[in-house]
Structure 1
């Protein structure tokens, strides 16, 4: 049942169970018993004062006709309502669907984000369903870029569907990946159909259709090719060898003309890129002229120019040495001048030389991240915090631009396990790390796919239905709150303490990652939950990432800079991104003035923002209070109810109203239930009692609905479990990362292919004294004798204890010591299984600087 109002007198426990079951997943899971199926807009972004067309798709599966339904629409900018509430009446028969189209006029302010809240009410004025959608009102995409891609330019491609999907994620610019004829000659002689470098047929009408559909949705279209590369045959197209780049004599990475292999063979015979000196005026004039031919032939809006990164010292045809990254600023400034009003985006791969791009005239910052590259201070780009650090540094160096990061998730896992799903936690945590810092992701493209590889047509992994819904809410969120995320905010050093939980500002594993920001109007706390997450690697290369441990009803102590009179929480994980007011207390100590904030929950990412403005109650809260006020007046007017009962009911309802105003909805429900019980036990007038009972039940419904759509500590079922096959060891060679294996202890650990016995290995290492256990329980075994074996290598440091153990098989645990050795040793243990299962464990206690490597774990039943 979706409608709680059909339930009358219930115990509080039963009410809570039902409300949690019916509503807590509305924002994250497809709810076929809901009324609202989706809320979308007709464009990805809007000009100031432009009309936005909202499409509200409804399906009635609630067990009866909806004869006098009402849709209410409220626009919020952060915590404040903008304009008046829009109301539309509708009818909807049981089992039928319809789409309501409602127009909302955007305010005149430029570069603002809004959250459109949609409530559906029944004829009794009770909210029965709700949803939200983000709206970006911006005259240009460059301040708040949300970059996507397209790559399928076949003759029969469904362009309209693909653009529709990306529009619904609010993607406001598209990179046309490998649409061109050749990198050095993007426009083919035949504009109807041509082959790209790899031999894929590209249809001109498909390119033009993409551009036209994207323009309707107010998306920008960016032509893609290399900034300084040509393919074989370039001599025939006017490219001069005198412009070429060569490996320097001291460069160990190659010799001769600097080149990059793309493929072993292709139908076109093109396998390599050949690179040219970006500082050479001849090359600049050539490639800029070829780029302008693109704008003459197609209605592209800009140039996305690519590189293959920094490869060390090079030389030109005169023998003069240079580093490619040192040529970026001058080249890009010249390029921007050459292409005029068209947009310019440039990719310094691995953020190598990004400091040269940040000070150039590019319109949007963009860099493809790889975890082995290092920043200007020598720090690896391998952690969540490393992404944040570069986003912040680039913002400062560029004067406020928001960095777009293509960070390909679970790269190796995707290549070795094509057709598998993305890990939900891995994707959401990387997204939160980028967005909270003020950056943006390049991840969504053709037909709603997500990237896991730098070659965009390689669709190795897919998003589950749940991840798609999560990502949609994340994009709604970054649109609605773009003015708190990347609109002039600067970092603060204000102290933040999460009471009873470990937190720090570095994004360390098993902590809550917290840091503060500030602008002219708000102070902001970003909170990303890494509790229970053992690694802070953003890439999750092997497809593994633990889900954070959700926490509830905790306190945050914050030392503020300016006066605080209201505190708000917004999260893509709760209430469909709505802002909710938080209660807090003030205090002072030797460190300064602080507030202690009551936080209802943290799943993945919370944003707490506060201001000096006095709090304004939301319309939802006013609805709840108004309903209770009406009830009190209702009972007072009923002269045929006994006066002691009226007084008793009024007192009980005042208590409910008091707790509603404090935000204690659970206590409010208690008092409403108490009022209902008083009415049932002490009223003598059946007609009046029924009327009053109906009014009370409506009040309970409204409060429970509002309550159940706030935060809950019941974890959504969003982590797709991979079932263990009966009687089989999972992932004994670690080719699927840590899948199937459980780790406990204090050591560093993970899976990689360095020094593996075969393929991949599991490694354990600790700089200080540690304990570590890696284990897996195998169930569904036939009883009998089994040999359990593994290839093991322990060659750094001397452990206090190191062993392989087999237990839980119906007998006493058996183990064998793992020897210190410079090579892999095969260790075997026999176990007589009598209960159909066994547990394999690798246990080590190390004094520090001690390792263990595990590979090729096997279970073999003896004949």
Structure 2
């Protein structure tokens, strides 16, 4: 690979907020000031130091893209007692859809390293290229803008760049509330102003806001006013959801419901400020009958969904040419029809029988294939109490190039398909998720890029079972290539069972200093290793060439494997 030179500029300033003397241990945080950056936009990296125990420190910052260091700077500053905010600003290269890593060493006056910190950021003109999709579901009256901003800033630390505004609406059949304060269909008291405040503040962090809407659901009252708009079963009975709480309407092209709901979408984009529409469905029915005329026309929902998605995309783009559409393929249905539609993201809500790790892999692979390379977001709900299960599931999803809707409302994690039942992560899980999302962003071009191609290669690990199938008691291996890189992901499934949602009592065993044989690498220049379970930068590994009856291979020592490792082969 040719050596690339980058020119960049950086500036630094500090703000000191005096506080009372505190004898607590040093506390540090390092994060970008936005969830994502647009091309030519200035990147801000924030270092927060609370109650420093030393006065003078040397900050050593390094910014890299994959295995290329793009910028390095050392800066001596004096810290004051209290809370110190240090901001670094940097203009990245004029390239689109690229992930970066930022590593910071803090040294005392004697040169001793006090703390090493890392974060990541990416540059993209379109957030749906690498969609770190999250959620908001709290719109209670009286929520202050400062509280909203704090939660949005926290989500930006995880690089969440799109939010599903779950159950923000007045009614399923009338999205925008006629009053400022209203009760939603389940009786929650909500504020329309809070909805708008969250959209406005999300934009400050380059976070897109998607308006949730059920594609065919109406209240009983609305159905009774428009019975011919409904969808009926073979016996001529209206099809309902949740024992008659909601009625399923006819979404076929040209139907009155179709036109009514899409007008609601246009109003949500134009009047409320949403950046797109998130379409939900309930997984059934697959077939219904229209009563718009005397002739009872059969409606196949799979093709009707596809047509409705396409019409929605076309119509909302007349108000905002960058508006997006997402559709929930409940339990992967009807993925064959909707993946190639004008939806911008493949979104799959995962339910049994898709209960195994292998199912997560196949859902991501098939979704990408059917969608022509579109990114895949899985709604796979795991109670944050099950910390090991959350960690392994994310290792599987991220390593396969997928994304996981799970984070929202500051430090919340989805535990249930009804989003308001989310739970708060523990401090330990919050730390782990920061590391995993940093890792997914730093290496997005090696993990999630649509140009990645699978390759046939064999990897053997000393005294350990490896497999290209995500099975039981083994190391799950995937091998792909892009440009001059071969990319190997290793996920430790020892003692993890088969079920991704199942609670795990103990973590997988950690493997250290294991010899690796990798067959199939050609023209290898360098071998790098990294992991979100430790220091995330790429570490160069020594390797040698050898050969046996299986063919030529490179041999190197893997420093450690806890949950998930990334090996990058840099080729000539």
- TM-superposed deviation, 1:244: 1.9
1:168-213 CA distances to partner (integer Å, 9 max, x unpaired)?
Answer: 11100111111111112101223x2222111222212211110111
In structure 2, what is the equivalent of residue 43 of structure 1?
A: 34
Structure 1 stretches lacking a partner, 5+ long: 1-30, 250-254, 263-270, 373-380, 411-420, 614-863
Q: Larger strand proportion, structure 1 or 2?
A: 2
TM-score by length of 1: 0.60
In structure 1, what is the equivalent of residue 474 of structure 2?
A: 511
- TM-superposed deviation, 1:60: 5.3
Cα distance in 1 for partners of 2:472, 2:285 equals: 33
- TM-superposed deviation, 1:86: 2.4
Residues 531-550 of structure 1 mapped to structure 2, 5 A cutoff: 531-533=494-496, 535-540=497-502, 543-550=503-510
Residues 704-723 of structure 1 mapped to structure 2, 5 A cutoff: none
The match for 2:188 among 200, 215, 219 is: 200
Confirm whether residue 612 of structure 1 aligns to residue 571 of structure 2: yes
- Contact 2:326 2:347 survives alignment (8 Å): yes
- TM-superposed deviation, 1:61: 5.3
Secondary structure of the residue that 1:277 maps to in structure 2?
coil
The match for 1:333 among 307, 310, 317 is: 310
In structure 1, what is the equivalent of residue 551 of structure 2?
A: 592
1:365-404 CA distances to partner (integer Å, 9 max, x unpaired)?
Answer: 21111123xxxxxxxx111111111111111121211111
Confirm whether residue 232 of structure 1 aligns to residue 227 of structure 2: no
- Contact 1:557 1:596 survives alignment (8 Å): yes
Cα distance in 2 for partners of 1:382, 1:311 equals: 23
In structure 2, what is the equivalent of residue 324 of structure 1?
A: 301
Residues 127-142 of structure 1 mapped to structure 2, 5 A cutoff: 127-142=113-128
In structure 1, what is the equivalent of residue 10 of structure 2?
A: none
Residues 573-652 of structure 1 mapped to structure 2, 5 A cutoff: 573-575=533-535, 577-613=536-572
1:616-640 CA distances to partner (integer Å, 9 max, x unpaired)?
Answer: xxxxxxxxxxxxxxxxxxxxxxxxx
In structure 1, what is the equivalent of residue 277 of structure 2?
A: 303
Secondary structure of the residue that 1:208 maps to in structure 2?
helix
Confirm whether residue 481 of structure 1 aligns to residue 455 of structure 2: no
The match for 2:465 among 502, 507, 515 is: 502
Confirm whether residue 113 of structure 1 aligns to residue 87 of structure 2: no
Cα distance in 1 for partners of 2:116, 2:326 equals: 39
- Contact 1:248 1:313 survives alignment (8 Å): no
In structure 2, what is the equivalent of residue 371 of structure 1?
A: 352
In structure 1, what is the equivalent of residue 16 of structure 2?
A: none
Cα distance in 1 for partners of 2:505, 2:351 equals: 18
- Contact 1:310 1:323 survives alignment (8 Å): no
Residues 781-860 of structure 1 mapped to structure 2, 5 A cutoff: none
Cα distance in 1 for partners of 2:43, 2:65 equals: 15
The match for 2:456 among 482, 490, 493 is: 493
In structure 2, what is the equivalent of residue 773 of structure 1?
A: none
Q: In 2 relative to 1, CA 365–611 (structure 1 residues): closer, same or farther, beyond 3 Å?
A: same
Q: In 2 relative to 1, CA 118–32 (structure 1 residues): closer, same or farther, beyond 3 Å?
A: farther
- Contact 2:252 2:299 survives alignment (8 Å): no
Secondary structure of the residue that 1:528 maps to in structure 2?
strand
The match for 1:87 among 63, 70, 74 is: 74
- Contact 1:45 1:137 survives alignment (8 Å): yes
- Contact 1:385 1:433 survives alignment (8 Å): no
In structure 2, what is the equivalent of residue 778 of structure 1?
A: none
TM-score by length of 2: 0.90
In structure 1, what is the equivalent of residue 339 of structure 2?
A: 358
- Contact 2:141 2:181 survives alignment (8 Å): no
In structure 1, what is the equivalent of residue 133 of structure 2?
A: 147
Residues 671-690 of structure 1 mapped to structure 2, 5 A cutoff: none
Cα distance in 1 for partners of 2:194, 2:331 equals: 32
The match for 1:571 among 531, 545, 561 is: 531
Tell me which structure has the larger Cα radius of gyration.
1
Q: Larger helix proportion, structure 1 or 2?
A: 1
Secondary structure of the residue that 2:128 maps to in structure 1?
coil
- TM-superposed deviation, 1:465: 0.9
Cα distance in 2 for partners of 1:526, 1:154 equals: 43
- TM-superposed deviation, 1:146: 0.5
In structure 2, what is the equivalent of residue 244 of structure 1?
A: 230
Confirm whether residue 400 of structure 1 aligns to residue 387 of structure 2: no
1:8-46 CA distances to partner (integer Å, 9 max, x unpaired)?
Answer: xxxxxxxxxxxxxxxxxxxxxxx9644x61002111000
Residues 717-796 of structure 1 mapped to structure 2, 5 A cutoff: none
1:763-805 CA distances to partner (integer Å, 9 max, x unpaired)?
Answer: xxxxxxxxxxxxxxxxxxxxxxxxxxxxxxxxxxxxxxxxxxx
Confirm whether residue 53 of structure 1 aligns to residue 44 of structure 2: yes
Alignment root-mean-square deviation, CA:
2.0
Cα distance in 2 for partners of 1:343, 1:401 equals: 13
In structure 2, what is the equivalent of residue 454 of structure 1?
A: 417
Secondary structure of the residue that 2:420 maps to in structure 1?
coil
Secondary structure of the residue that 1:434 maps to in structure 2?
helix
Cα distance in 1 for partners of 2:552, 2:168 equals: 57
- Contact 1:404 1:440 survives alignment (8 Å): yes
Cα distance in 2 for partners of 1:325, 1:331 equals: 10
- TM-superposed deviation, 1:280: 3.9
Cα distance in 2 for partners of 1:371, 1:211 equals: 34
Structure 2 stretches lacking a partner, 5+ long: 1-22
In structure 1, what is the equivalent of residue 237 of structure 2?
A: 256
Secondary structure of the residue that 2:199 maps to in structure 1?
helix
1:266-323 CA distances to partner (integer Å, 9 max, x unpaired)?
Answer: xxxxx61211222241232221112111123211110111000133443332434344
- Contact 2:533 2:563 survives alignment (8 Å): yes
In structure 2, what is the equivalent of residue 665 of structure 1?
A: none
In structure 1, what is the equivalent of residue 260 of structure 2?
A: 286
The structure with higher relative contact order (CA 8 Å, sep 6+) is: 2
